[in-house]
Chains A and B, each alone.
Chain A
């Protein structure tokens, strides 16, 4: 298994532009999570899905952020318009229902908004 796959690995964009981050979870995993990591705030959960349905989006900073999971093998996190304070590493993780397996994280997307 290739693990959780995120793209792009790095993204540099100008303030005001739309940014779309992509994630392919591990096949068979039924939960998907989007996290954001910064030095100041650590690892923050933005939103998570169970069986492609958004369960909790209370961590989404504001309306500029949106996430979708159209099917079990693909999810997107969109920021529109982007701002410099959105600069961070964004991680996608997936998990399988059941105890003891933990969450598998992707390699992350490092976003820089200038």
Chain B
């Protein structure tokens, strides 16, 4: 089935460096959600982007939705060891918040102290 593509698959950074993960789709997305999964944990909802060109910030995390609503990015400024985990973007099929959510393959972030 259709799925958003996420890159890179893995990223190793030194603590304090920035990190970005990208999510791309061949079709226009109604909205996109981002989740974080710590090692051994479960996905935790971070944010939802709905509007074209939308930018949202959560402390050191910046989320963007492309103008054409076909791509999205998550940028972390000055990474910390607590940022370790896998970051997933997910596209929603169907209307409202009750359509099915299809996840990308995720980007696993390792942070070296």
Contacts and interface: CB of A to CB of B under 8 A. Distances in A.
B90 to A, nearest CB: 8
B98 A108 contact: no
B49 to A, nearest CB: 10
Contact of B45 (A31, A42, A55, A103): A103
Interface string A88-114: 000101011111111111111000000
Contacts of B101: 33, 45, 103
Given A91-B42, A91-B43, A98 B106 contact: no
B103 A42 contact: yes
A105 B42 contact: yes
A95 B98 contact: yes
Contacts of A43: 43, 88, 103, 106
Interface of B: 1, 31, 33, 35, 41-48, 50, 88, 96-98, 100-106
A42 B48 contact: no
A10 B42 CA distance: 14
B110 to A, nearest CB: 16
B88 A45 contact: no
A56 B106 contact: no
Contacts of B88: 43
Most A CB atoms within 10 A — which of B46, B88, B100? B100
B44 A97 contact: no
